[in-house]
Amino acid sequence: MIRKDIIKKTRRIVIKIGSAVLAGEGHDGVDESVFSHLAKDVSSITDKREIVIVSSGAIAIGMKRLGLKEKVKSIPEKQAVAAIGQGSLMALYEKVFSPLKIRVAQVLLTHDDLSDRHRFLNAKNTLQTLLEYNAIPIINENDTVAVDEIKFGDNDNLSALVTNLVEADLLVILTDINGLYNKDPKINKDAELIPVVDDIDKFVSAAGRTSGIYGTGGMQTKLEAAKKAAHFGVPTIVANGRERNVLKKIFSGEDIGTLFLPMEERLTSRKHWLAFSTRPAGSLILDDGAKNALLKKGKSLLSSGITGIEGNFDSGDAVSCVSPNGKEIARGIVNYSSEEIKRIKGLKTTEIEKVLGYKYFDEVIHRDNLVIQEREP
């Protein structure tokens, strides 16, 4: 019943399609017939719904066109192969969606596009306009220019961040297995599919302590993506994209794959961006009093509770708030630079102006610009 209620309310969907799905059975590169079936499947669920696709496949296609049998390893090689494959990837999507009278649009993103608030909002507005034009954005990481510092790492996590970016109602991750299992189904015949995960935080924590949980490799990134979506109040379904008409079946209410339920206390879009899209420019080390004020009382961070600073950053940057034992407990936007905080750390708010000669704010981080990352016991 929960699944059917979710499907009934869903109006905007992010669908992540992995390379393993696009390759089909026994193919190197990608299988064009898979694109065709997926396009028809997507078309079957578009009535009164908006679709955003996050697609892998550029590197796989590029390798096929270049006749490469082994995965390229260096960044320049990967970027060149992706550049060769990306055009063909979009051409395939255009080819299979055009007969169905569905427009598609290419959108390439790097992590910087989402970690910078202005670029985040610009991307958000562009995608919103594409949806108003009844186009399906086909999103991929911009591998041609991305380096390690600005990479998402994988398209599972990209799809979760896009879910916040477009304020979707549901994230669907299509992969080459039926969902999440209690054991690796490829080597354990008695592995059982887990139909519903109701608390993703507890599950991920348990998976980290239990070797039997199938949460390694590709499935681990799907758990991370489901967690990000859950904190935005969005459910995730992980299902087998090789199953014919899988999307039609999901949106008919069939119990396919694993459903990850959202958190009851959802983050706002801005706080979700702060928690998952930003990359901290540095860290503030807090004393126990400040830690408790943030975690238990929902207070702002004051200079008096800061014992140390790591990194160089400016006011307006995102930083980690670290407990005395070194664990990130919160993330926030600072009102002062690292150089200024070095001078006022440990001081009362009333002493800031005396030391700096000015006082922009009473708080180093205001609670409205702060998001809790991890609650310590």
- Domain 2-272 class, CATH top level: alpha beta
CA distance 160 to 139: 12
With tokens 């190197």, the residue in question is: 28
pLDDT per residue of the chain (377 residues) written in tens, 0 to 9: 688 899 999 999 999 998 889 886 655 678 889 999 999 999 999 999 999 999 988 888 998 889 888 888 787 888 888 899 999 999 999 999 999 999 999 999 988 888 888 999 999 999 999 999 999 999 998 877 766 544 566 889 999 999 999 999 999 999 988 998 887 777 888 888 999 998 887 777 655 444 344 433 478 889 989 999 999 999 999 999 999 999 999 999 999 999 999 987 788 888 999 998 888 999 999 999 999 999 999 999 999 999 999 999 999 999 999 999 999 999 999 999 999 999 999 999 999 999 999 998 999 999 999 999 876 55
CA distance 231 to 262: 7
pTM: 0.84
Q: Which CATH superfamily, name and number, covers 280-372?
A: PUA domain (2.30.130.10)
Alpha helices by DSSP H, the chain: 2-9, 19-23, 32-43, 58-66, 75-97, 111-115, 117-132, 155-165, 200-209, 218-231, 246-250, 269-272, 288-297, 338-344, 352-356
Contacts of 157 (CB under 8 A, 6+ apart): 221, 224, 225, 228
- CATH 3.40.1160.10 segments of the chain: 2-272
CB 358 within 8 A of CB 277: no
Cα–Cα nearest to 303, from 275, 322, 326, 284: 284
- CATH 2.30.130.10 segments of the chain: 280-372
